[in-house]
Amino acid sequence: MSEKVLSGKNVIITGCARGIGKAMLENFAKHGANVWANARSMTPEFEARCAKLANKYGVQIIPLCFDLTNKLEMKSVVKFVMKSDLKVNVLVNNAGVNYNALHQLTAEAVLREQMEVNFFATFLFTQYIVKLMLRNGSGSVINVASSAALDATSGRAAYGASKAALLCATLALSKEVGAQGVRANIIAPGITETEMIGSMTDAVVADTVAGTDMLRIGSPSEIADVAVFLGSDLSSYITGQVFRVDGGM
């Protein structure tokens, strides 16, 4: 996509500080979107990157630094967005945490953290933003799940379950708000070159790559490109779908 397919659109992206979210921030800005960029905490590096990208692509990038698991911070940010002159067109729920361990070795505290961040916080934040979209009569919700939500992989019981819950909620949402002009879709990345690979052994990474048709690891930008498509009018008749971006796992 060479043209600015998101020109005039305003987007909220969570988890922009690194990995896939970092790539999404740049790709959305490159295609003309104004972005509310979420990170857990404000750092000079994050602020500088937002300013640099805004200047480079001629768009607005507004840092939103809050912890998704903190309801008070979340509500404060939603109020801030509501007072803005910009209308929310797209929500990309990308923020999440990863954990790899066998089912029998997964502690309850870890299981609850996976569900809290990957499902509960995302579910609640989506509720707030979809209310704004319904008032406007249009919108696109893009939730980043994982191939682990679709494939029952050994060692990923907690993470896969949290993302599977998100997947189910997204498909239900698409049926509930589609007639009001709001779309909801899922991106399910496979193995991607992010910090999360660090939680996998070299043997597991090699075995996973060998199991893909393309025999390689995906890049964050390749995941971000699909999000750009789903946020644009090029996907105006697409909702309730799961897009596997996994190199053919």
Residues sharing a CB contact under 8 Å with residue 168, sequence separation 6 or more, in sequence order: none
Q: How far is it, in rounded angstroms, from Cα 44 to Cα 203?
A: 37
Angle at CA 118, nearest 5°, toward 152 and 184?
90
Spatial contact of 56 and 83, defined as CB atoms under 8 Å apart = no
Spatial contact of 3 and 201, defined as CB atoms under 8 Å apart = no
Q: How far is it, in rounded angstroms, from Cα 135 to Cα 108?
A: 39
Dihedrals φ, ψ of 41, to 5°?
-145, 150
Which residues does the annotation mark as catalytic? 159
Helix (H) or strand (E) holding 115: helix 108-115
In order of 14, 69, 210, 213, the CA distances from 64 in angstroms are 9, 14, 39, 38
